[in-house]
Structure 1
Amino acid sequence: MVEISGLTWALTIAFVLALLAVDLVLAAVRPHRVGFREATAWSVFYIAVAVAFGVWFTVAYGGGPGTEYFAGYVVEKSLSVDNLFVFVIIMTTFSVPEEHQHRALTFGIVLALIMRAIFIALGATLLSLFSFMFLLFGLLLIYTAVQLFRHRDEDPDIEDNAMVKAARRFLPVTPDYVGGRLTTRVQGRRMVTPLFVVLIAIGSIDLLFALDSIPAVFGVTSEPYIVFTANAFALLGLRALFFLVKGLLDRLVYLSAGLAIILAFIGVKLILHWAHVDIDPRVPEIPTPLSLGVIVVVLAVVTVASLAKTRRDPTAKAHPGSLRATRARHDERQQRP
């Protein structure tokens, strides 16, 4: 464990909030279609910020914590790419105009950071009090990995999302986006716009991703500061990455399978750690450098294999995967004799 002072925590949170504020101001003041050049510049900037932070953290706190940070960042960045798949589906499902996608993504990232901060605090508290939580987190990740691999060729059913259905049922929704507002008045009646429903969809999806990503990064490090910064810097670059790679996501046909392997690997790592602490110290543990190597190799193999597959078969299309069978697939199975 590393000792992180209250001042360091405060300065880090202030820095993250400042970067978020820049995104919010750009989204609110200048709604526009984000082009390839702008998306590339912002993506490079956020990756450079994350790497620079990692270098500072390594120098200040040592190679071990530094390796844990970079491993956590790579895990969260790879899982955030799966977020992008779902964001594309949400934007398509609700026909969000391109000039308003920037705002929707920025608010979605803010919601994701808030929920992850809550889960990080809760997870760190539970792990410090109950060592068997490592076992539960490990089993959760392995279950998630199995479900994701089983439904790797499916898309989540956004229309079947409980929160989205409730919003449409109980809230008056305008037929158009009303200049990107969240609420408006129509003939004296307060109504929400479709952008408000989009934010609900993104927020509920973010909640599901947080349930997987937080245990995953705790499998790399038990230091809450590293967990928070790895999540924060991975998410901050998500908006720019969306506009940069949304046209390429369809080619990552094996990404869901690769993420399932990574989640299962980290799940096994957590269970071995629990067994080492609570059962027998002779039970081997998986060191963080090895974890980082395995994660990088899996992502590299998945990317190369995906590009080779789509080159051979241009009709092949990637899917983000789902933790349960979609309604269409379920109905199809029910109709089989």
Structure 2
Amino acid sequence: MSVSVWAWAAVVAGLLVVLAIDLWIVDRGEPREFTLRQAGFWVGFYVTLAVLFGVGLFFVEGADKAGEFAAGYLTEYSLSVDNLFIFYIIMARFAVPRMYQHKVLLIGILLALVMRGIFIAVGAAALERFSWLFYVFGAFLIYTAVNMLRGHDETEFKENLLLRWVRRVFPTTDGYVESKISVKIDGRRMVTPMLIVMVAIGTTDLLFALDSIPAIFGLTQDAFIVFTANAFALMGLRQLYFLLGGLLRRLVYLSYGLSFILAFIGVKLVLEALHSNGVHWAPEVPIWISLSVIGGTMTITTIASLIKARRDRKAGSATPPAKVSQG
């Protein structure tokens, strides 16, 4: 899809305006906790924006491009839900006051948007020049899917190299100073744990891009669609963090669904790369099949998870209390 510089500028400017309005409405005044009603409204708002954008693509570019955007958006949004669990761990690890958590998420997500934009530009240029990278992306996604099936320890957060460097280089206060990221104490400039946790959120989300960027390039090689699908999925992420609350822990089969989706996209990438290189038995997978597989997998995964959580809760409540011996 050929997109003019003006179209790129208009979309980026529009996204920035929406984020600025979000910031002004939600974060103005005294710091306060993010309510469930607020979270629900903003999640619905951002999802509606994504749907409207997809409808606009349908009328301007046709069903194929709209389908690519929908499949990419669903994939990125699904992977983002899995990432939220790590965000919960980071917030607990750094004991971030609840009233400041939405600011931490906003800054981290803005950093992620900028860095993902760079990743996408580099990835699109590399794929256009080196077609063998499709095999690498496909193999990497299959490898990631297998690792996800094996399970990973989500009970601890391990600090990355950049975070350890920030801790070592910048003197840090013992506790939070409202929502400030730096303060001057006895004439000495010091950073607060607020900056540390923002770096943790931003860099962690960047690491998640190592999975999500190859995944969406497996659905479309259009850089414009890759960027907009990522942007719309990330923009409502902090509100989704508060809306899901404890529900995330009940999505016990989420990792299985995501691993299947990543494996499917990985195989799709390899098959399409083979097909483009003249291997006639390797089929091209239509976008409507990709969209059906992704949407169907996440629907089944969510329903199955909630059913299991309900059964476990009932079984727990039905367990009789242990008898205490009288002696």
Structure 1 stretches of at least 4 aligned residues deviating more than 6 Å after TM superposition: none
In structure 2, the partner of 1:188 is 187
**Given that residues 141 and 267 in structure 1 are in contact (C-alpha distance below 8 angstroms), is that contact kept between their aligned partners in structure 2?**
yes
- What is the deviation of 1:268? 0.5
Question: Structure 2 unaligned runs (5+)?
Answer: 316-327
* Mapped partners of 2:254, 2:199: distance in 1: 26
Equivalent position SS for 1:246: helix
Instruction: Say yes or no: does 1:62 pair with 2:78.
Output: no
In structure 2, the partner of 1:248 is 247
* Mapped partners of 1:192, 1:243: distance in 2: 26
In structure 2, the partner of 1:107 is 107
Matches within 5 A, 1:163-174: 163-174=162-173
Equivalent position SS for 2:274: helix
Equivalent position SS for 2:246: coil
* Mapped partners of 2:158, 2:172: distance in 1: 15
Instruction: Say yes or no: does 1:43 pair with 2:43.
Output: yes
* Mapped partners of 2:2, 2:298: distance in 1: 32
CA offsets 1:31-71 (integer angstroms, 9 cap, x no match): 22110111111111111111011101110111110111111
* Mapped partners of 1:279, 1:209: distance in 2: 33
**Given that residues 111 and 206 in structure 1 are in contact (C-alpha distance below 8 angstroms), is that contact kept between their aligned partners in structure 2?**
no
**More moved, 240-249 vs 17-26:** 17-26
In structure 1, the partner of 2:220 is 221
AA partner of residue 37 (structure 1): R
**Given that residues 137 and 267 in structure 1 are in contact (C-alpha distance below 8 angstroms), is that contact kept between their aligned partners in structure 2?**
yes
In structure 2, the partner of 1:308 is 307
In structure 2, the partner of 1:332 is none
Please, what is the CA RMSD of the aligned residues? 1.6
AA partner of residue 195 (structure 2): F
In structure 1, the partner of 2:323 is none
- What is the deviation of 1:258? 1.2
Instruction: Say yes or no: does 1:212 pair with 2:219.
Output: no
In structure 1, the partner of 2:73 is 73
- What is the deviation of 1:27? 5.7
- What is the deviation of 1:284? 0.7
**Given that residues 120 and 226 in structure 2 are in contact (C-alpha distance below 8 angstroms), is that contact kept between their aligned partners in structure 1?**
yes
**Given that residues 27 and 106 in structure 1 are in contact (C-alpha distance below 8 angstroms), is that contact kept between their aligned partners in structure 2?**
no
Give me the TM-score of the superposition, normalised by structure 1.
0.89
* Mapped partners of 2:21, 2:140: distance in 1: 36
* Mapped partners of 1:47, 1:111: distance in 2: 21
Matches within 5 A, 1:236-315: 236-314=235-313
AA partner of residue 175 (structure 1): D
* Mapped partners of 2:86, 2:134: distance in 1: 28
Give me the TM-score of the superposition, normalised by structure 2.
0.92
- What is the deviation of 1:200? 1.2
- What is the deviation of 1:171? 2.1
Identity rate, percent:
50
- What is the deviation of 1:28? 4.9
* Mapped partners of 1:45, 1:236: distance in 2: 10
* Mapped partners of 1:27, 1:133: distance in 2: 42
CA offsets 1:212-259 (integer angstroms, 9 cap, x no match): 111100111110000011000111111111110022111001111211
* Mapped partners of 1:279, 1:95: distance in 2: 56
- What is the deviation of 1:309? 1.4
Q: Between Structure 1 and Structure 2, whose CA radius of gyration is higher?
A: 2
In structure 2, the partner of 1:327 is none
**Given that residues 115 and 210 in structure 1 are in contact (C-alpha distance below 8 angstroms), is that contact kept between their aligned partners in structure 2?**
no
- What is the deviation of 1:279? 4.2
| Number of equivalences | 314
- What is the deviation of 1:169? 2.8
Instruction: Say yes or no: does 1:117 pair with 2:126.
Output: no
In structure 2, the partner of 1:20 is 19
* Mapped partners of 2:158, 2:185: distance in 1: 25
- CA separation of 1:189 and 1:73: change in aligned 2, threshold 3 A: same
Question: Structure 1 unaligned runs (5+)?
Answer: 317-337
**More moved, 305-314 vs 115-124:** 305-314
Instruction: Say yes or no: does 1:136 pair with 2:136.
Output: yes
